[in-house]
Structure 1
């Protein structure tokens, strides 16, 4: 199962990019690989998150997820709004291209925020590099670390977004896995201006003070999850994912006056494993 990185959705009453699909990861934590027991899967989940990054109103939605190891030893992972293809090893050094759908902010429930410039949904592209260690023994466990760099190439924002994510998984029962992870994201000034800035025109319309953020540390994240093997083919899971906005993003009036820097996402899901 995997949980989608917690990017917010702003589509017709918002289908949210949140869910535990059977190997839980996180929204912006690394996708999980339990290749010894779950080589391939397809599933989906439902969850709840805030309406947009920095907001406090909540929405509910559903997303799909998939993991597929090719016969050539490569690995495709797709979790809601994020997908990557690993040209490296299933364990050891991993690297490859990455795509992310950065969801916008439009027609939200907060009428003040609706007076601020809207942000369209856009596609980000880039790549990742990481390392995965799998320990097989009396107490098996799996560790993974990954750095992902993506950019929007100026379509909605200028600059780039860099994420560092770590995860650890271990069994507590023959059918139960427990996992957790930590992460952090750094962004360009252009990213923060788009998603957290308040222009002079925005200020005149909304009443919020004008604000021009710079780049830097955008957020820190943590998550905890559990996976239960129902049958040899079916898995279920649940997770809680926490984001804390930092520095210029956290100091935006969008966050301090209309929202919250503490963002919590949670979800449940189910997946079918196949060979």
Structure 2
């Protein structure tokens, strides 16, 4: 199975999920929604061959006032407020690297698909006024408890949304991810056996800053119930992740994902 890097779910979710995060007044009465996004990304983190993927998205506020969000390969449940302080569990499906198109990288050890679990904390501010806007910041920590890699992955994400028109919204965000040495060894390391098979030099990475990210998106409210959106998501690999020969010799540290999506709002 080809590996679509795990960030893809988050990227497509910005297209689909932004519909729920962008009503005219950015008030607490954000709609529930279900939608889907389609887009293009690299076959694996650090690669240059591209694939196309389709992923679902959903946002639902329970009768108890808790928020459930599911975007592609990522889901979280908020026990906090819809605005203000937010916190809860998080799950992510990290897809593996197997049978990739690159003939050299395909000789490097396979990486199995795994489930990551952990939690997040964040804060959301919604401003209602002449110029409404929404700001959100979030820190997520997940691990797979050594099933595929050892250690953990920590991500900081920020976002901002504002209206250009009563039915047109724009947004953008910045982020960064830090990973353990065990994570980098699994996804970017080259063992002696890998080197003999592929011809790539042996590489034993440590942990640290894995990537910085940025994105821009636009949303159009087609009707009271339907939204459409488009986005571009940029990742720049950093540190030992970017120094891997998988990246420097066979791929690129600059990763671009783009896509479009639709969502249906419901009560």
TM-score bucket (shorter structure): over 0.9
How far apart are residue 72 of structure 1 and its match?
1.1
Match of 2:93 in 1: 101
Superposition pairs of residues 26-37 of structure 1, within 5 angstroms: 32=21, 34=23, 36=27
1:77 aligns with 2:63: no
How far apart are residue 21 of structure 1 and its match?
4.1
Match of 2:16 in 1: 22
Contact 1:149 1:163 in 2 (8 A): yes
Does the C-alpha gap of structure 1 residues 92 and 141 become closer, same or farther in structure 2, counting only changes over 3 Å? same
Structure 1 gaps, min length 5: 1-7, 26-30
1:89 aligns with 2:81: yes
**2-structure distance, mates of 1:99, 1:208:** 34
How far apart are residue 32 of structure 1 and its match?
4.4
Superposition RMSD on alpha carbons, in Å? 1.8
**1-structure distance, mates of 2:265, 2:57:** 12
Identify, as 1 or 2, the structure richer in helix: 2
Question: May I ask how many residue pairs the two structures share in their alignment?
Answer: 259
How far apart are residue 251 of structure 1 and its match?
0.2
How far apart are residue 73 of structure 1 and its match?
1.0
Contact 1:46 1:61 in 2 (8 A): yes
SS in 2 for 1:169: strand
Structure 2 gaps, min length 5: none
**Per-residue CA distance 1:219-255 (angstroms, 9 max, x = gap):** 0000000110000000000000000000100000000
Match of 1:189 in 2: 181
TM-score in terms of structure 1 length: 0.91
Match of 1:146 in 2: 138
Contact 1:143 1:166 in 2 (8 A): yes
TM-score in terms of structure 2 length: 0.93
**Per-residue CA distance 1:190-209 (angstroms, 9 max, x = gap):** 00000000000000000000
Contact 2:40 2:52 in 1 (8 A): yes
SS in 2 for 1:120: coil
How far apart are residue 174 of structure 1 and its match?
0.6
Match of 1:111 among 95, 103, 114: 103
How far apart are residue 24 of structure 1 and its match?
3.6
Does the C-alpha gap of structure 1 residues 9 and 145 become closer, same or farther in structure 2, counting only changes over 3 Å? farther
